[in-house]
Structure 1
């Protein structure tokens, strides 16, 4: 029987009863809203214009609770963060590698939510058959780089000026964590 993730976690500072669970399609508007709110920062995502719920349906359905989950974190009765596992490079030889994407509502940042989600991703990855985790982070996104480094990720790659956001070229850092030597 397939079990989906649904954990009640201890409340963080100023947060009541947080819950991490597998996302359902009804969560997609909140997921898209959190994502779109990062676009103006120009250091978090390579999207230049807001995405729509409809444009993210295929992406949403590519996530499966048993192999490439998409989790949401609820606090105070609403979705305030999400983390997704995505297949890397789309070829069978990379099946045991996944890219993490994590986004937290601006009102809930610096409360340990991102750390909690990435730690949970690291802990659950072996159960999904994942041996290697990756994060693709703009070099200017220092909070994300620090978070991944503090959780054991190392800089595995640096791609200078590969993205153009606004009028500025951005460098991309590839962060990696090997979970198993097997």
Structure 2
């Protein structure tokens, strides 16, 4: 079977949130310390339209992960740049799915009017740092002690 990505729909939001929440305890991926609710993510979901889409990736009808494009600082001069975030279900990690999604995002960037993609990745998240570097991303900053995870 192959992976397929598509635009997320409101019907996907519960699974998107479940995947997100499954990463919180590891302190590897997000600065949220407690699970979020579907209701609290409604506005975030609504903001992912047009040139800032939210994709889900499936295999055999099972949602395995998602990728979001978010505005970088939200100011007009940054309109051609977007932050990307990738979250995968635990069962889907380590199989190349993150690479697939990142490659799809890079390929789609020009059609979304984007010249620059960036990710905010914890330095101790070596898998994600390595993935982004293998696909040509460079480290441009290190912000020690910015996030207090415990």
State the TM-score, normalizing by the size of structure 2: 0.98
| Residues 164-179 of structure 1 aligned to structure 2 (within 5 Å) | 164-166=148-150
Cα distance in 1 between the residues matched to 2:106 and 2:21: 26
Shift of 1:92: 0.8
Decide which of 28, 53, 56 is 1:43's aligned counterpart: 28
Counterpart in 1 of 2:3?
A: 18
| SS state at 1:80 partner | strand
For structure 1, the 5+ residue unaligned runs are 1-15, 167-182
Task: Indicate whether 1:151 and 2:143 are aligned.
Answer: no
| Secondary structure, aligned partner of 1:160 | coil
How many residue pairs get aligned? The number is: 150
Deviation at 1:26, TM superposition (A): 0.5
Q: How large is the RMSD of aligned CA atoms in angstroms?
A: 0.8
How far did 1:43 drift?
1.6
Gaps of 5+ in 2: none
> What SS does the aligned partner of 2:142 have?
strand
Q: Counterpart of 2:48?
A: 63
SS in 1 for 2:114: coil
Q: Counterpart of 1:27?
A: 12
Cα drift, residue 17 of structure 1: 4.1
Q: After TM superposition, which residue ranges in structure 1, 4 or more long, deviate above 3 angstroms?
A: none
Structure with bigger RCO (C-alpha 8 Å, 6+ apart): 2
Normalized per residue, the structure richer in helix is 2
- Measured in 1, the distance between the counterparts of 2:36 and 2:62 equals 20
Structure (1 or 2) with the greater strand fraction: 1
Q: What is the SS of the residue equivalent to 1:41? A: coil
Distance (Å, rounded) in 2 between the aligned partners of 1:43 and 1:74: 23
Check if 1:74 corresponds to 2:58. Answer: yes
